[in-house]
Structures are given as structure tokens and as C-alpha cells.
Amino acid sequence: MCQSLAFPQASIKVTMNTRHDLMRILALSYPQLRERLDALGSMDGLLEGQVHKGLKGRLEYSPAVLNMLRDVEALVHDHNMRLLDAVKEVGRKIKGDGLSSDSHPDSKGVKDQLVEALEREIRRLEGEVAFLRGEVTQLTPLALPRRRWNPFT
């Protein structure tokens, strides 16, 4: 009897944030957070694929949305920009349409950073899978059923 070995599927778990989490992390009230999320949602494609329905129909936001909100808050507070102008600036930075005067030419968008992080995680997991497959091939002969020693059976 030859049994095929099933290896577990590698998956990457991305922590999603609810509105309550975003309020706590950014120290914003619910109306302030809603205003910022509505402004981000008004930009074409900024929140596309970043918002999912979770348990009990709660909206869950990816870490990229948290980074966008942090960037917007930094522009609003540090540079005294209006909220909509700050959202447009963040949208321009992410989409790569243009660079702001205070950003560096080699800065990367949030999506590029996420892609790089996921690729690093994939490479790490592939190495782990290769190691585990080697261990399984070494241990497989030990797990095969042995013939009983009792001569009377």
C-alpha cells in the first residue's frame, strides 16, 4: 500500500482591521474616521480590493488602508493641507501619476510595498516547504510498517 503524502497548503494571513481597530490605532472618533474613509472612497480605485466583509457583515480594511490613512493624517497635520487635498496627494503617490514636492523619487507606493512583503513571505515559505519535504523523505522509511518478529504468527 502506497499512500500519497499530503502537504499543507501555504497561505499568507493578512491582518484585516475593522473600523473600531482603525479608530483605536489612529486615535480618531467615528465621524472623523468615516469622513476620511469616504474621502478615500471618492478617489477612483484607491479602496478597490482593500475592503472586505467580515464576520457579521462588518467591513474589514487591509493594512494598506491603514497606511493610506496614516499618510493622509500626516499631510493634514504636518503640512496643514485640507483633507481632500491630502487624499488627492496620497492617491497620486499610490497610483504613481506624479510625485509630490516632499516625496523622494525612489519612494514606492503602498501596493509595491505589499507586493514585496508578500514575495519575501512566499520565498520564506518555499524554503520551509523544501526543508519539510526533505525531512519527510528521510522519515518515510521509518514510518513503513515492519514485519513482526514473532515466529508463531
Give me the pLDDT at residue 52, please: 87
Q: Which three cell numbers mark 147?
A: 514485519
Of 33, 12, 20, 26, give the one whose Cα is nearest residue 67.
26
Smallest CA-to-CA distance from 64 within 53, 56, 72 is with: 72
Domain span holding position 77: 17-107
The reported pLDDT for the residue numbered 38 is 92
Assigned domain for 136 exists: no
Q: Which amino acid is at 27?
A: A
Q: What is the pTM of this model?
A: 0.55
> Which residue positions in the chain have pLDDT lower than 50?
1-2, 98-107
Backbone phi and psi for residue 118, each to the nearest 5 degrees, phi listed first: -65, -40
Q: For residues 19 and 35, is the Cβ–Cβ distance under 8 A? A: no
Name the domain count of the chain. Answer: 1
